[in-house]
Chains A and B, each alone.
Chain A
Amino acid sequence: MTTNAETFVVSPRVRAATATATVRRKQGFQHGGWFIAPFMLLFVLFVIWPLLRGVYLSFTDANISGEGARFIGLDNYREALHDPMMWDALGHSAYFTLLVVPCITVLAFLLAMLAHNIERGKWLWRLCFFAPFLLPSTVAGNMWQWLFTQGIGLFNETLGIQTPWLTDKSYAMLAIVIETLWWTVGFSFLLYLAALQGIPAHLYEAAKLDGANAWHRMVHITLPMLRNITGLVIALQVLASLQLFDQAVVMFDFGTGPENSTRPFVQYTLEQGFTSYRVGYASAMSVIFFVIIAVVALARMWLLRNREESAR
């Protein structure tokens, strides 16, 4: 596997260029390979190689010891597609994503508008809205597990309600969504805040001169100027939300929620790999998951390109 990383590094062209550290302005510089070599080494070892290995293992019945794996073709994939637990887990991750992404996007935008428009104490709002993001996922999860626990939890007590957040399957996912909103909205909030501060003030001044009221300025200046950052926020959130794991397991004591109603996809793959020792099967699910993530990422690239073309 290291040979992969080194074949390009030690290519004669690169080596020759390193020897003569002279300027070749027209051609550019020839020893760039050395600049990227350390990163590529780590990248090949811990990203590319595991990916290839995952693809290979997915065609075998490998167990955790890694010995005596037989090639079994597409059996793992066939099994996965007929595994109701896999579909459940995938459904939980997708459902969570569908709930969280719009909420975070809108909430982050509103918080940014609020913090941007208050003239005093900007650092205080930033600190308050962003602070939860700085907590480890497990700490945030434990806090909300405790806030949501019936009887001793302050959430129900403060709101004067009796909702069984952690024990009823119709509320369990909602509890994770609320926790995630509180915990991660700060990052998207900061992105929006930066984008708001990057909108040139003269646009607003010109609009004011033309008699545009606050609503018009928002619809015709602020929102269009935030389109790119909104795309980024949504893309990052979709990718992060599909990979739901930490909060979900911590809030339910490393279990799978009431009636298995919250087990996310990542947890199911890890269970197959580490609890059932079915490394081959878990790898097949990882490959499926990778394809899903890649489709989402490619969809975003495709959308961006379309937009650029239509803008021309």
Chain B
Amino acid sequence: MTTAVQVSKRSRRPWTPSQIVLTLLGVAVSAVFVAPIAAALFTSLKSEAEAAEIPPHWLPRTWTTQAWRALWSTGNIGNWFINSLVVSVLVTAIVLTVAALAGYGFARTEFRGKGALMGVVMSGLMISPAVLGVPLFTTVQQMGMVDTYWGMILPQCAPAAMVYILYKFFQGVPRELEEAAFIDGAGRWRVFFTIVLPLSRPSLAAVGIFTFIASWNNFLWPYMVTNNPDLMTMPNGIATVMNSYGIQWAQLMAGGLMAGLPLIVVFVFFQRQIVAGVAHTGLAGQ
């Protein structure tokens, strides 16, 4: 299954009137989308007094990194950043491993009750911490994992959607490639690791990137499972701890940007893979 995304090629076509109009429209709409982020950046470079001025203005009159420095010296933001990193990296690694294995198991192997199990897993598409919040919490509580890293991580590690995406992908891998290896005497596992996995790099990248984004940005589950400021992740700490001191807008915007910018930077570098990944997910979901 190839993804039908064309990488933008530099075109040397002339500027027709319709292209000029469309480009101007594109610039205007982009400005609207970027404006809130730009506003947050500018505000983070104001003093707290200036950030709360009425009426507000876009650019700081006096540029200062005061809010950013205060953020580092007072809060646990460094802590939250590391927590976010640990949780997201572990969730992504676990999800990639178990979802790739399960997707392949469902796509290419036979065992009793496979159809029924697949149905059960698909029903998992409808379940999330938002749907099952309180029972999920009491389950995790019973396991003694409230206020722990694992309590934050493991419940994020059973996403039926990712299994489904990889299942669809593995179904599209030509069987002949595997058969040839079997004839040469390779076992099921060896075929999986040396032939199938290398072929699925784009799909695995898509699943990995989305899992990472979802986990980095996840608010609801960490919010439910911990209220220990030392264990909080970025989105969680910013929303709960920073808001509870009485809002200091410049600091809040600086903290928000710190939580948000890593992913935007990642997107700038991996744009092609991410766009291909969305396309791929979309094709699987149709």
Contacts and interface: CB of A to CB of B under 8 A. Distances in A.
B174 interface: no
B2 to A, nearest CB: 10
Contacts of B26: 114-115, 118, 121, 125
B29 A136 contact: no
A126 B275 contact: yes
Interface of A is mostly: helix
Interface in A131-179: 131-132, 134-139, 141-144, 146-147, 151-154, 157
Interface string A17-55: 000010101011111111110111011011111110110
Contact of A36 (B34, B117, B220): B117
B112 A279 contact: no
Contacts of A253: 243
A126 B30 CA distance: 9
A40 B131 contact: no
A147 B36 contact: yes
B155 interface: yes
A13 B120 CA distance: 21
Residue of B4, B6, B104 most packed against chain A (CB within 10 A): B4
Nearest to A289: B131
A144 B99 contact: no
Interface stretch (A84-92, A98-106, A190-198, A202-210): A190-198
A260 interface: no
A229 B286 contact: yes
A258 B40 CA distance: 25
A115 B141 CA distance: 47
A265 B243 CA distance: 23
A135 B218 CA distance: 10
Contacts of B66: none
A269 interface: yes
A191 B282 contact: yes
Interface residues of B, number: 114
B238 interface: yes
B166 to A, nearest CB: 10
Interface string A232-251: 10001001000101100010
B264 A29 contact: no
A198 B155 CA distance: 36
Given A36-B102, A151-B54, A266 B130 contact: yes
B190 to A, nearest CB: 9
Q: Give the interface centre of B25, B33, B243, B257 by most chain A CB atoms within 10 Å.
A: B33
Contacts of B155: 46
Interface string B252-275: 110011011001100110010001
Interface string A294-311: 100100000000000000
A142 B239 contact: yes
Given A42-B98, A66-B141, A273 B134 contact: yes
A128 interface: yes
B148 interface: no
Contacts of A191: 278-279, 281-282
Interface centre among B94, B192, B281 (most CB of A within 10 A): B281
B136 interface: yes
Contacts, number: 326
A139 B251 CA distance: 12
Find the residue from B56, B97, B108 having the highest chain A CB count within 10 A.
B56
The B contact surface, by secondary structure, is helix
Contacts of A135: 37, 217, 256, 259-260, 263-264
B177 interface: no
B70 interface: no
Interface in A59-93: 62, 64, 66
Given A30-B110, A42-B157, A47-B124, A194 B40 contact: no
Contacts of A154: 39, 56, 58
Given A38-B97, A120-B23, A245 B239 contact: no
A37 to B, nearest CB: 8
B224 interface: yes
Given A119-B11, A131-B33, A193-B275, A142 B256 contact: yes
Interface of B: 3-6, 8, 11, 13, 19, 22-23, 25-26, 29-30, 33-34, 36-37, 39-40, 43, 51-58, 94, 97-99, 101-102, 104-106, 108-114, 117, 120-121, 123-128, 130-143, 154-155, 157-158, 160, 163, 179, 182-183, 187-189, 192, 213, 216-217, 219-220, 224, 234-236, 238-240, 243, 249, 252-253, 256-257, 259-260, 263-264, 267-268, 271, 275, 278-279, 281-283, 285-286
11 contacts: A21-B187, A32-B109, A38-B97, A53-B135, A66-B142, A121-B8, A134-B217, A139-B256, A152-B249, A269-B133, A290-B127
**Among all A-B residue pairs, the 8 with the closest Cβ atoms:** A32-B109, A35-B105, A194-B279, A54-B135, A28-B110, A273-B134, A136-B235, A198-B4
